[in-house]
Every structure is written in C-alpha cells, then in structure tokens.
Structure 1
Amino acid sequence: MKTINKIAFSEIGSIPKLVKDFLNHDIQGFEAQTFSLENFAQQIHLKQNSFIVEKREILSETIKSQLSDFKLSSKQTENLENLKHKNTFTITTGHQLNLFSGPVFFVYKILQTIKTCTYLQQNFPDFNFIPVYWMASEDHDFAEINHFKTENNYYEINEKSGSAVGRIQINDTFFISEFEKEFKDSIFGTELILMLKEAYKNGNTLTKAIQTLVNRLFSDFGLLILDGDSKALKDQIKDVFKDELENFSLHKNSKDKVEFLTDKYGKVQVNPREINLFYLSETRDRIDFDGENYIVVDKNIQFTKEEILNELENYPEKFSPNALMRPVYQETVLPNLAYIGGNAEIMYWLELKDYFTQLNLPFPILIPRNSMLFLKEKTIGKIEKLNLKLDDFFQNFTKITNDKILDNNEILHLLNQKENLLAKQFSELKNAAENTDQSFGNLVKAEETRQMKSFGRMKKRLLRAEKIKQNELLERLENLFLDVHPSKTWQERIYNFSVFFADFGYSWIEFCMEEMVVEDSKLIIVAI
C-alpha cells in the first residue's frame, strides 16, 4: 500500500459548496467552529466551565455498564477513569448500526477521531482527549442498515423492524454462511469470518453486535462506545425535551439559520419539525401536537400536556431525539470538543448554532471527515496510459470523457476555426449595422444567433459520431470510471471494510490511521 495523492476537498467538484465555504471560513458566524489549535483552546475553556463533575460520573458509569460484557483494553479502562476528571474531553463521531459496519467510511470516521485525540494530546499535554463512537441505536429505519456490499456480493439480514434498531434481536444468520463462502480462502478471511460470527450470534441485539465488532477492531486505541438509548443519560436532557414539547424551541431557534442557509445554498440538509422527538414503544413514532393534545403519529396513543410531561419525567427513556435533536443530546451528556462527520452531517449541524446559543450549550468544532480510495496498481496504470490524472475522476467526468474522445480531432479544429471566423464576421456586420435603422441590426443579431447555434448542433453530432467510431475508447473510459466509482459513487460509500481487511488484515487499519489527515479534510488515494 502506498499513498499516491491527497486531494483537498476544495479541489473536488462534487463536495457541496456549503462544506467548502465552511472549511474556507466563508460562512459568517462559524469561524470558531473550524479546525485550529486556537479554536480548540477556546473550546476546552468553554466546555470545562459548563460541564459539571456529576455528569462525568454518570457518563463514565454508563459506558462502563454498557461495555460490562466485553474485555476492555488497558487504554479503555484508563479512559473510563479519566472521564471523571475535569481536564478530560471527548472527540466524537457517530453512525448507524449498519450490518457488519456497512460502508467502509465507518472505519475512516473512527480512525480520524482516534488520531485527532492523539494530535490534541501532543498539543495540549495538560489535558486528556478520549475518542468516542456514538451509536445511533434509536434509529428506526431498518432498511437503511440491514445490508452491506463487497466487490462480489450483497449481504442482507431480515428481522422484524419498526422500533429502535439497536433493540432488534438477531435470528437470521444465513448471510454469515454466504459471507464465509466468499472469504474463506482470503489471507485474513478466517479473522473476518470469526468477527462476523462473534458479533452476529443468534440472540444478540444489533447494539450488541456493533459493540462487539467495534470493540474488537478499536479497543487497543482506547475508543469508548456509547449507546444513547439510556435512562441515566436521558435524565440529563429532560428539561430540553420538556421545553421542546411545550415551546417547539428547536424549530423556533433554528429558523433564522435555516432561512440563511436555504437562501445561500438552495436548501438545508434536514428541515426541523415543530417537535423533534419520537416516542419509543414497540415501535418508534413521531410526536406531533394538534393544538390541544400530543399525538403519537401512526399509533393509537395521545397525551394531554400534563400527561406527556409526567411521562417524560417518569420515563425519559421513552423519548427519542430525531436527527436534529440528537446533536443537542450528545453535547449535553458528553464533555465534547469536536464532532467528526460526513458532509451531510456537518450540513445539518450548522442549522443548530442559534439553538445551542439559546440553550447556553457550547457548540462544538465541526470536522468534515477524510475520505479514502484504494485503487489497484493495474487500474492506476490504465489511467496513466490514457494521459488522465486521478483528479479527473472527481471532476465533471462527462466533460473529461468528451474532451478525450475529441482530443486532436481535425473536424472539431476546423469547426472551431469556422465558428471563430463567423463570429468575427458578425461582429463587423453588427458594427456596420449601427449606421442604419435598428430593425436591420436586430435582423443581424437574430441571424448570428441562428448560425452560431448550428455550430453547437454540429459539435454535438460530431461528438455522437466519434463516440460510435471510438466505442472501444469510450468503453475503457466508462470501465475506468466504475473502477474508481463502483455503482457510480464514491468507493467508500459502497464497499465494506472486509474488501480491504481480507488482503491486509490489521495492517490495513494501521496504514489508514497513519495516512489519515487530522488538520484538513482530504481525499486520500492509495495504490494497492
């Protein structure tokens, strides 16, 4: 494995403009939320003054209890103890409980979180920094998480769903035998198969499965795994949930930021609802207010104001934050300095800045996670043979393909010559037309538009003809694009980590950690 390029997000066409502007400090009011040692020093001060010792005790004991079935590394045990001290802070990432971790970027997020802690420890030696993986165990969209893909297969688990996915018990293990067929002859296939069997045993919940897998992969790095589906933690956010039920505060206090981001970027990632909470029973359902009572949508359950506030007071674990309320919950129960997430996550976090201010809750530093791409040497050789750059595959590749098909084309050269000549002739005619009635000048302009359009049509027809003539080249370009972008999207969003672990084992994880960039957001391209 060898890193051959690191491309800044600012140079990649498909990265959302909002994320680029955020990284470039071009969104007013968010300068203090970008990555810098100065901002981290300020964040340490803010969080140290706002996060009480009692919360630290509850957090440490909650994580310890949740991980009680696992053998913890000495680093994890040390981190659990350090959490109780006021000079200790967390760096957090979060993700759904995808089957066998889902797309490989799950691993990249966690590794960047771990490496960021190491970087901060070096720069702020008087403090402790602990990496935390926040499990999105309360999500209810099982179809989003019940599968993963390798280069050759699609694996899926079928279980009864509807409630918090972390509570689902595993009964369907057919996918394990199919996975075993694919990887039994791989260098590290046996290790992968054991991981899968250990995590997805009959009777394990999906929460237990992901805890098992993540702990096996990252325990030696000191990573702590936190499940937000916890009464002890939700006790700490009851006042926020109560305010949300009574006053629709998130919706009201994010309105200005949502309008600002919508005006500037066309839309926001997630639109706030009036009430940004779900109710957990045997299913997870949205809470709505009809002007008089609180309704649990799609259920025959309703509460008066007094009843729902009593329910919250006595059973806070039955109330579940949605995607926008979850960051508030997370920052309430953690001594957190920064959140590392994908572009979509960063985009919806930005909507919440004013709401955090209203709650007097420090808004964290936001770090768009690194991306990684692993390409075979053979693929890289083919790209170089066509005189293309790896960067080209992250720009407008349709234009790159068209330019390659028409490269040094004599007919196109002739068309461009004649088009330029015609433009020059019409320029002279338009100048001369100023000496007569305006109606003649209008005729000249209309005729120019008509004739110039014909050159555009001829170029399109030429491209179509050359694509037919150079079908082999076109096919090679399209296949190369799919080698870089399987299923026409970024590799990290398609393949499971097993694709790479099968050949390289834990050395692949160590390599990813080594190459991960902490101070900037980049696409890291690796030859294998």
Structure 2
Amino acid sequence: MEVECIPFKETGYFSQLICDYLDQKKGLSPFFNRYPLPENFGDQIKEKTANYPKEHRAVLVNSLRNQYKGIQVSKATQKNIDSLEKETSFTVVTGHQLNLFTGPLYFLYKIVSTMNLAKKLNKEHPNHHVVPVYWMATEDHDFDEINYFNLHGKKIHWNKKASGAVGRLSTEGLDEVYEIFVSELGNLGLTDRLKELFKKAYLEHSNLTGATRYLANALFGEEGLVIVDGDDKELKKLLVPYAKTDIVDHTPYQKISDTIQTLGEVSPDYTIQVNPREINYFYLKDDLRERIILKKGKYHVINTHIDFSKEELLQELESYPERFSPNVVARPLYQEVILPNLCYIGGGGELAYWLELKSYFDEVGVTFPMLMLRNSALLITEKQSEKVEKMGLKVSHLFMKQHSLINKKIRDISNIDIDFSPQKKLLEEQFQHMYELAEKTDKSFLGAVKAQEVKQKKGLDKLEKRLLRAQKRKLKDHVVRLTDLQNELFPNQSLQERQLNFSEIYLEMGEDLFPLLLNTLDPFLQDFTILKHK
C-alpha cells in the first residue's frame, strides 16, 4: 500500500474560502472558534463542559436507547451510548443525507474521518471519552438528491413521488431497485455481501430512516459508531427556546446576514454557501414539510391553508416540538444544543456554511464546535498507477482539467516546441522600443502601437493553438490512452469520491476496503490522499 498526499489547494477542486481556512488565514479567525489542531481540543473540552447543560445528557441517552430498540447493537456502540451519561464524555460528529445505498463514496470518508478522530482524541485525552456520531439528515426533503447511486457508469434510480421529510418515506418500490441492482452486479465475486446489505436495509425496513440506520450500523457498528436521528420529540424539546428566538426575533437572520457581509469584505472570492431566512423552520407533519413565513401578520405554512397567530404558533411549538423542523441554517445549532460535541467533520460546502454561523451561536450562548474538513481520497490500483508512470506522469497531474492535461502531455512528448513564450517575450521587447519612440515623438501614436502589439500576440496564440491541434492529431494514441485513464479515475471529470458508490470499489477490494480506510485516513493530515492498492 502506497500513500501519496496533495495539498487541497493544488487539486483545483476546493473553494478559495476552504483553502484559506486550511491555511488559517488571519482574516477568517472571527468566523471559527478553534482550528482543529490536536493541541486545541483540550480547551474545546473545557469550554463545552462549562456550557453543556447536564440535563441534556439524560435526554440524549434516553432518546438514543429508544432509537436503537430492535436493532442489533455492537458492544462498542452500546458502550459509547452508555458513556454519554458521564460528564467526561463528548462527541465528534459528521452528518449526511439518506442517500440510497450510501450514495457517493465520500459517505464512507466522512464517517471514517469521524471515527479516526475519536480514536486519536481518546488516546490524547485518556481522562475523557470521545464518541463518533453520524447525524442522519432524516428531515431533509431534497428527494432528487438522494434517490440514486452510480454503479459501473449507470445510475441506479428510485422512481417515486415524494413529499415531506425523506426519513419518513416508505421503502415501497425499492424491491424493483433491488432487482436492477442485482442484475447489474451479476453473480461473480463479492456480490453476495452487497446484495444482502441492500436487501436487509431497504426491503426489511419500512422507511428510509430505518433502512439507512441499518446500513450505517452494519458497515460501522463494530467500530462504535453512534447514529442519531434528530426527528425526535424529546430531543426537539431542547430546541424550543432557540426556535422561539428564530421565529419571533429573527436572531439568526440578523446575525448571519451581518457575517455574510463581513466575509465578503475579507475576500470578494468567497462564495456564500447559504443565505438565512427570516424564519429558518419548516412545519413538519405527516407528508408535509413546508416553510413557515410571516404573511399579513400571521405565521403561514406555504403551499397550505395553515395559519397561526403568534400566540398559537408558540403554543404549537411548546405542545408539538416535533412538528418544527430546522433548515440548513438552524440544524447545526440543534445538533450542538443536544450533543456534547467538540468538532464537526464535513465537506468543503458544509464548512463554508458553518463559517457563516459563529456570531449566531455566540448570540444565543451555544459553544461553537471546531470545524474539520473530512478526508478526501483517490483510490487507484497498481495497474492504473503503472499506466501513469509509463506515460511519464504523476498521479497529481491527473487532477488537472482534461484539456490542460492533454496539452501538457502533448508538449512533453512532442518532438517540436509548442511553447511560443520566447517569441512573445521577443515581441514585447521589440514593442518596448516602439513605446519609447512614441513617448519621445508623438504620444498619440501609443494607442496604435498597443493595438498592433495585441494583434500580433493574438496571432501567435492562434498559431500555437493550431500547432497544438496538429500535434494532438499526430499523437492521437497518446491522447486516447491518457483521457481513458483520467476518465477512469475522475468519472464525469469530477472527483472519484463524488461519483462512485462504495459497492464499485468493494467489488475490487472486498472486506479489505474498510480496514484500508480506517488505517490510512488521518483526519489531522488535511491533505488530499491518494491510496494505491492491489
């Protein structure tokens, strides 16, 4: 097994905001609490200890025990749940949608990053116990984002009319998806384990929450992963006072809007991930999950005839907290209110919106967690690695945009020089003399000189591109082999982890896949990892 690392900012797949965060750019310090270095977790433990209500532990543990009823719980997971009753126990958390059969490969990387972080912290802080948690996004309603996964370049798709929270969706119809999956897998090699996982998860559970919990528990339960479903009345009772400040006082709207403006002042290159709403809660009931808005002095549930006065809505919130579902802005607060959490582990997009939230957390008096970018990885076989070497390339070159990679390769192997930079430099020197002449004689001549320089540079660019195209045709075999290899490792010219499902890698590696990830992905590394395997 060989491991190679590339700085995230050199991959070209991560935003300027995330690259600056990883570099701990000084201007970003107001937007996070502590950077996730090993030496900073001690202070985070102290702060969360002082700021996490003791009574929340009892509610949390009781809810978890109820959620795990009827489920085969490993000794490691049971130990972790029980440990959360103690004031010396904490969590590290990742969250993810209920994607069909885990969805993209990075689902595994998120959870492995979280479990490996917990292991490292338990070694560093022997007087405390850290529990890895997967927060299921059961209240999400973006069904089109989760109703498929890719296998062998094909989309395995669940066709269903859906509304409301996805976790409550019936698994009816997934037997047809199972048949398509089985047909695509065939009967060779390691298919039986995958078929069993899918069947037990989706054909033996009545809703998507139960199916996803079973699957995540089957894959990671032996490692002690604890799975949390936030669609829980007892847990939501703890959220009520914070929901009131959102719905009535619009506190997050004000604070986050100010933060977004300040982030823009730090750098105009930062893309805003989410914008807050005046009210950041949905009304959740049966197959309904719709936004609550203020309309003509009433609290209105859009796309319905449901209206509340202020008093009626607050009474509804007190009596039925389970009917109020936080959106992407309010959910992180909910998580930190109910969990004794130290750190959130997420992808670049997730961390980008978390960086908008700190002032809101400060305003409502909830400790802001440390934010850690999850591990990212490219899995490459020895055979693929040998192909890269034979082409005279490094794996890191494959992260380039395809046209840039092809151009680089053609220039490297061509028996003629297709770089007109020297000619352009000579041209610039020649025109410099003309600029000096114009300055001494007739300054009105400067514009004409500049126009001619631009025209001749464009001519050189056209000649360079034309020559490159000619060489591509001449060296077509090299181009085809190169693009085929890059398309294998970067399907749809995207990161492998965003396209492939774990089942495709499992068919190559079998049960070795999970130990490989657990033994090699280091959450503190903060580089993109390339894993070369047999």
TM-score normalised according to structure 2 size: 0.94
Q: Residue 469 of structure 1 corresponds to which residue in structure 2?
A: 474
Q: Residue 241 of structure 2 corresponds to which residue in structure 1?
A: 239
Aligned residue identity for 1:204: S
Q: Residue 121 of structure 1 corresponds to which residue in structure 2?
A: 122
1:221-251 per-position Cα deviation (integer Å, ceiling 9, x unaligned): 1111100000000000101111111111111
Backbone CA RMSD of aligned residues: 1.8
CA separation of 1:414 and 1:474: change in aligned 2, threshold 3 A: closer
User: Shift of residue 518 of structure 1?
Assistant: 2.1
Q: Distance in 2 between matches of 1:486 and 1:444?
A: 47
Q: Distance in 1 between matches of 2:58 and 2:38?
A: 28
Structure 2 residue matching 1:125: 3-state secondary structure: coil
Q: Residue 343 of structure 2 corresponds to which residue in structure 1?
A: 338
User: Shift of residue 426 of structure 1?
Assistant: 1.9
CA separation of 1:314 and 1:187: change in aligned 2, threshold 3 A: same
Which residues of 2 match residues 83-162 of structure 1 at below 5 A?
83-162=84-163
Deviating more after overlay: 446-455 vs 327-336: 446-455
Q: Residue 71 of structure 2 corresponds to which residue in structure 1?
A: 70
Q: Residue 272 of structure 2 corresponds to which residue in structure 1?
A: 268
Aligned residue identity for 2:20: D
Structure 2 residue matching 1:28: 3-state secondary structure: helix
Which residues of 2 match residues 271-420 of structure 1 at below 5 A?
271-281=275-285, 282-407=287-412, 412=417, 415-420=420-425
1:445-480 per-position Cα deviation (integer Å, ceiling 9, x unaligned): 332222222212222222233333333332222222
User: Shift of residue 128 of structure 1?
Assistant: 0.4
Aligned residue identity for 1:487: N
User: Shift of residue 189 of structure 1?
Assistant: 1.5
Q: Distance in 2 between matches of 1:355 and 1:12?
A: 32
- Contact kept? 1:186, 1:503, Cα under 8 Å: no
CA separation of 1:418 and 1:283: change in aligned 2, threshold 3 A: same
Q: Residue 502 of structure 2 corresponds to which residue in structure 1?
A: 497
Q: Distance in 1 between matches of 2:110 and 2:418?
A: 48
Aligned residue identity for 2:290: D
Aligned residue identity for 2:54: V
User: Shift of residue 318 of structure 1?
Assistant: 0.4
1:141-167 per-position Cα deviation (integer Å, ceiling 9, x unaligned): 111111111125321223341111111
- Contact kept? 2:205, 2:211, Cα under 8 Å: no
Aligned residue identity for 1:490: L
Gaps of 5+ in 1: none
Structure 2 residue 523 is the aligned partner of structure 1 residue 518: yes
- Contact kept? 2:284, 2:324, Cα under 8 Å: yes
Structure 1 residue matching 2:480: 3-state secondary structure: helix
CA separation of 1:237 and 1:438: change in aligned 2, threshold 3 A: same
Structure 2 residue matching 1:200: 3-state secondary structure: helix
- Contact kept? 1:47, 1:335, Cα under 8 Å: yes
Structure 2 residue matching 1:351: 3-state secondary structure: coil
- Contact kept? 1:184, 1:190, Cα under 8 Å: no
Deviating more after overlay: 219-228 vs 185-194: 185-194
Aligned residue identity for 2:23: N
User: Shift of residue 319 of structure 1?
Assistant: 0.4
User: Shift of residue 385 of structure 1?
Assistant: 1.7
CA separation of 1:417 and 1:167: change in aligned 2, threshold 3 A: closer
Q: Distance in 2 between matches of 1:50 and 1:512?
A: 34
Aligned residue identity for 1:245: I
Structure 2 residue 512 is the aligned partner of structure 1 residue 507: yes
Q: Residue 8 of structure 1 corresponds to which residue in structure 2?
A: 7
1:398-449 per-position Cα deviation (integer Å, ceiling 9, x unaligned): 3232122233657655854543333322222322333212123443333222
Deviating more after overlay: 257-266 vs 66-75: 257-266
What stretches of structure 1 move > 6 A for 4+ residues in a row?
none
Q: Distance in 2 between matches of 1:422 and 1:243?
A: 66
Give identity over the alignment, percent: 37
- Contact kept? 2:31, 2:359, Cα under 8 Å: no
Q: Distance in 1 between matches of 2:9 and 2:426?
A: 38
Aligned residue identity for 1:235: K
Structure 1 residue matching 2:69: 3-state secondary structure: coil
Aligned residue identity for 2:449: V
TM-score normalised according to structure 1 size: 0.96
- Contact kept? 1:160, 1:168, Cα under 8 Å: no
Aligned residue identity for 1:317: E
Q: Distance in 2 between matches of 1:334 and 1:397?
A: 44
Q: Residue 443 of structure 1 corresponds to which residue in structure 2?
A: 448
Q: Distance in 1 between matches of 2:17 and 2:161?
A: 38
CA separation of 1:73 and 1:498: change in aligned 2, threshold 3 A: same
Aligned residue identity for 2:282: F
Deviating more after overlay: 293-302 vs 5-14: 5-14
CA separation of 1:452 and 1:60: change in aligned 2, threshold 3 A: same
- Contact kept? 1:419, 1:455, Cα under 8 Å: yes
Q: Residue 57 of structure 1 corresponds to which residue in structure 2?
A: 58
Q: Distance in 2 between matches of 1:377 and 1:12?
A: 21
